[in-house]
Amino acid sequence: VYEDPKAFLTCNFDAFKALCDPELAQSGPSGQRTPDRSRCNLACANISRTDSQIAAVQAEIDEIDAAAEARLDPYPIARREQQRRAALVQIAERHRATAIPASPAREKTP
């Protein structure tokens, strides 16, 4: 399991499912392999996200919104940030739509 805080995700690495390098499973024992973080593919089945990672995504969205409201960034940077915001919103919405709710705590019987 590899956590990537900058990408707001956890990689539950399985070489046979890894989209970061499809040939990884064929190149040797998977126990000695690690994900290629520079080639992370958001469609990969190895990706998982926690509610705390989504909270960090939301904080990043809020920062982008504050910067946009301040209008201090040059247009190319502001445009790039809005594209990033759209991608982050999509990640957060996908997580909320597919999240598995936590099980309620079971009461202990005496």
Tell me what the mean pLDDT of segment 9-29 comes to.
76
How far, in Å, are 15, 23, 29, 35, 98 from residue 26 at the CA level?
A: 9, 5, 8, 14, 32
How far, in whole angstroms, is CA 86 from its chain's centroid? 14
Which residues, at least 6 apart from 37, have a Cβ–Cβ distance to it below 8 Å?
A: 2, 4, 7, 11, 20
Is 11 strand, coil or helix?
A: strand
Evaluate if residue 18 carries a pLDDT over 60. yes
Of residues 37 and 10, more confidence is placed in 10
Would the pLDDT of 24 be above 80?
no
Q: Does the pLDDT value for residue 109 go beyond 70?
A: no
- Look at the block and give the residue holding tokens 């946009």: 68
Q: What's the burial of 81, exposed, middle or buried (CB within 10 Å: 0-12/13-18/19+)?
A: middle
pLDDT interval class at 59 (50, 70, 90): very high
Map out the domains of the chain as residue ranges: 1-48, 50-97
pLDDT band at 91, cuts 50/70/90?
Answer: very high
